[in-house]
Structure 1
Amino acid sequence: MSIVKSKIRTIPDYPRKGILFRDITSLLLDPEGLALTIGTFVDRYTGKGITKVAGIEARGFIIGAPLAFQLGVGFIPIRKKGKLPSETVSQEYDLEYGKDVIEIHKDSVFPGDRILLMDDLIATGGTMIAAVQLLQKLGAEVPEVGVIIDLPDLGGATKLNKDLGVNVFSICEFEGH
């Protein structure tokens, strides 16, 4: 969707040289762009049997919570280790130079839940794959993942679909890193 894409700024060499950072804060500042973004997801997922929306810390919260509200379902925050106060379930995943862990509250997911997973973008897919595995570990079905931006050159959406059978819906794509 070209209107949404046009409202996302690119910041070269952030967080390190050679990276083109796709910054959604410019999109979030724009009332038309934000409404169009949330509206696109609402239109896609209304009537699809979604029981909850999960968002990956932190930008997944920005899109996931208003989407959950519009769909009339609950919202599940997926956070970095040690950030949730109640009993959690965790999933470790690989980073470029090491490992990390994400967690959710154990009582936020029930077998048979149909959970839509949201984030701002998908790049290599490591965090997204770990989040899907975490939800599936608790018995949830993840019929699709929604993102504003796909970076197809990094292969995350393809990997998620190939390895876990989960489709990724994106509003726009950016080539390159």
Structure 2
Amino acid sequence: MTKPPEVKGVTPKEVYQAIKSENLWEVDLDAEPKYVPWMFITNIIGRVLARMTGQGPFGPVTVKCTADGSLAVVQRGGAFDDYQKIEHNFTEKDEEHEFIFSQQVTRIDIFTYDGKVNYQLTRDAVKPYGAKIELFEDSFYSLDFFTLKVKATAVTFTEATPTRSKVMGWFREGG
């Protein structure tokens, strides 16, 4: 009887290659053909984690970033005539503050400079406040929303860094 052959393990070679494409779909990845037969699951997972998509009106759309790495966004609506800026410094934890605009706004920008703040929105001050939107230090949130009031509650507060918040409401003159 003969000895069985010695089994040798295979160590896959990993090749890192920058993909020269913004297109999500596989048709134009510009992968070098000599590496295609050896693409494994790690390549697929790496690409999925590196790309974000959003559902556009006609299918998926790749999310883009600016040169500094910030998310590039396009606001809906526009052609606003003016805005109203309201700022507030919270003096204690769990303090509530209502930002009340002088007229109905159709877009709001919410800034939290320090700590954490919960924001709640109400449409035209008719319905009760909705679910909380928690924003943490150095964060910004913008949405198209018809409102007259925004309620904010400080989640955190320290004497050294008061919790600062700002809300900007955008509107068109005459409605």
Class of the TM-score when normalised by the shorter of the 2 chains: under 0.3
TM-score (norm 1): 0.24
**Higher-helix-fraction structure:** 1
- Between structure 1 and structure 2, the one with the greater Rg is 2
TM-score (norm 2): 0.25
**Comparing both chains, which one has the higher relative contact order based on Cα–Cα distances under 8 Å and sequence gaps of 6 or more?**
2
